[in-house]
Each structure stands twice: as C-alpha cells, then as structure tokens.
Chains A and B, each alone.
Chain A
Amino acid sequence: MRKDAGPIVQISPPNEVWQRWLAECSESFFLYARQQPRCTADAEDVLQEVLFETWRKAGGIPPDTALAFATIRRRAMDLARGTQRRAIRENASIDETAEPFFLPEFGASDTHTQFAQAVGGLLEHLREVLTLRIWGGLSFPEIGRVTGVSENTAASRHRYALEQLRETLGKVLK
C-alpha cells in the first residue's frame, strides 16, 4: 500500500456516468414524458432533447432531477404548440400502439394490472403529481416548481390521487 500518496480520486469516464444516470432515471423520465404529449414518438423526441440539453448544461454531469422533469414538461408544452404536431395528435389522441405505462411482470397477479390501470385512469393533473412523487422521487416543493403550482396544491393533489386509487382499488387493497 502506498503511504506517501495522497487520497486516490477515482474519476469515472463520462460514458459510465451517463449510463449510470440513465439507468437510475431514464425510465421515470420516460414515464413522465409519455404522459405529456400522449404520443410515444413525441415523448421519445422530447426525452432525447432534454437528456442531452440538461446534461450539456450541467457540464457533463448528471443534472438536477427536478430540473430535468421541468424541462421535459416545458419542451412537451412547446411541442404541443406546434400546429402540425397538434393535428397529428388530435387524429391519434390515444395512441393505440403505445406501450403500457408500467411493465407487465411475469407471474404477477391481476393486482399488478389493476394497479397499473388505476394509475392510468387518474386525471392528468393528479397522475402527473403522483408520477413525480412516486417514480420521480421529488419532494412536494420540487413538484410545485416543476408543475407551476404551490407546494400545498401539489401535496393535496397527491393526497387526492391516493384517495381516488383507494376508491378504485378498494377490493384489491383489502
């Protein structure tokens, strides 16, 4: 063991850090992105742009998660303003070919499917807060900043979403 050397600082190559960040966050980002433009192709474009943009702005390190969610939201809204895109989206408001929000699990009971369906059936603004809280891991103040509402509103939307899920999944939860 070297006694004269200082502390060894191991610097991971950028590609490794990038892959680790994607492994940690990309699925929740994609889940959120898919809820915004309601079209998987648009969500992919938005997510790619946001991942690259936030990464570059952070100087090649994983950016703040809340910032990435906020950027996804903003980019999706910008995209929605485009008339051509809007027309396409109106024609296919519900993308039938879209993949499910949550991964089906082999061997999982019907409970899993019912949970996924119940979350998918929530109102948009409630599902948004729930997604950011549960799968995004954001705090209520952060959710408030991302969605442009107060911390209290974010908390109450989350509470209301859980209540609605309890009502929908009443029998399953018992």
Chain B
Amino acid sequence: MNDPLEDQLRQLRPGALPARLRARIATPPEQEKIVHFPWWKVAAGLAAAACVILFAWFHQTMQRTENVPILFTETPSSEVFHSRRMGVVTDGGQRAWQIIKVERVEGQIFVADFSGITVLTQRIRHELVPVEIHFD
C-alpha cells in the first residue's frame, strides 16, 4: 500500500534539464562498429605471425653459432707465476724426489676477421712436477 506522503512527493517534478545539456544529448551516440573478420583471415594472420617469429628465432640462433674466421694466431705463451714445494717422496731405496706444485698461465692471442677483433685466451694450469734429488 502506498504511503500518501509518497504520492504527494511524486507530484513534485524534478527540475528540467538545462538547455545546454539538452543540446548536448539531442541525438543518441553512434554505436561502435564491430568489425567481424572471417575465420580464415584470422587463421592466415596467425600463421603469418608464427612464420615471422620462427624465422626471427632461427636467424638469431644461426647467428649465435656462426664461426668467425681466424686470420692470425700468435704463438702460445707460458709463464710460471707460482711454485711451491709440496713434499718429498722416495722409492724406498736411494732415490728421492721432491714434488713441486707449479702454477703457470698459458695465453694465446687470436686475431679474427678483417675487422681486427683480437681475442686473448688465458688458461691457468696447476701441475705437480717431481724433481729428482741428487745426493753428492
């Protein structure tokens, strides 16, 4: 059941729209056009994109594993930078050896390509060298 007060309130009319607003909404907004693509166009587009991605990936991989021609190789160098006596071993008789730990660095320079790329490879080696002890 309606409250009589509600009925009285309903008789109040909301204020009218201002003229400038009425002008702004005089016509309905245009509907956004929904563009439908046929399935085969979508599939073709996806396939093309996949091909491009595969090609790019393959090309990048190939570049990564490509060998650079070497033009010049320097004679390898070897330099002892540390040695330490580790101990003495005997064969149970008259012969004895002292064991020396030798650390040396081996290096080699490669000049690759005509662009003059120079690559220095360095390798550190640890070796145990037996040196016979001569008793006078």
User: Would you list which residues of chain B between 1 and 35 have a CB under 8 Å from chain A?
Assistant: 3, 5-6, 8-10, 12-18, 20-21, 24-25, 27-29, 31-32
Q: 1/0 per residue A156-173: CB within 8 Å of B?
A: 000000100110000001
A102 CA / B11 CA spacing, docked (Å)? 10
Report the count of interface residues on B (CB-CB < 8 A).
22
- The one of B10, B12, B20, B29 in contact with A116, judged by C-beta atoms closer than 8 angstroms, is B12
User: Would you list which residues of chain A between 111 and 145 have a CB under 8 Å from chain B?
Assistant: 112, 115-116, 119, 130, 133-135
Quick check: is A86 within 8 A (CB to CB) of the other chain? no
Known: A15-B27, A60-B31, A173-B5. A102 touches B20 (CB 8 A): no
B15 touches A101 (CB 8 A): yes
A51 touches B14 (CB 8 A): no
A99 CA / B19 CA spacing, docked (Å)? 12
Report the count of interface residues on A (CB-CB < 8 A).
39
A103 touches B9 (CB 8 A): no
Quick check: is A27 within 8 A (CB to CB) of the other chain? yes
- Identity of the chain A residue whose Cβ is nearest the Cβ of B8 in the assembled complex: A115
Provide the residues of chain A in CB contact with B12, threshold 8 Å: 102, 112, 115-116, 119
Chain-B contact segment, one of A40-48, A67-75, A76-84: A40-48
Quick check: is A100 within 8 A (CB to CB) of the other chain? yes
- The one of A17, A22, A116, A162 in contact with B3, judged by C-beta atoms closer than 8 angstroms, is A162
Count chain B CB atoms within 10 A of each CB in A17, A52, A166 and give the residue with the most. A52
- The one of A55, A103, A162 in contact with B14, judged by C-beta atoms closer than 8 angstroms, is A103
Provide the residues of chain A in CB contact with B5, threshold 8 Å: 162, 165-166, 173
Interface residues of B (CB under 8 A from A): 3, 5-6, 8-10, 12-18, 20-21, 24-25, 27-29, 31-32
Interface residues of A (CB under 8 A from B): 14-15, 17-18, 22, 26-28, 30-31, 34, 40, 44, 47-48, 51-52, 55-56, 59-60, 99-103, 105, 112, 115-116, 119, 130, 133-135, 162, 165-166, 173
Q: A14-B28, A27-B13, A30-B17 are in contact. List 18 more A-B contacts (CB 8 A).
A: A15-B28, A18-B27, A30-B14, A30-B15, A30-B21, A31-B15, A44-B20, A47-B21, A48-B21, A55-B29, A100-B15, A102-B13, A103-B16, A133-B6, A134-B9, A134-B10, A162-B6, A165-B5
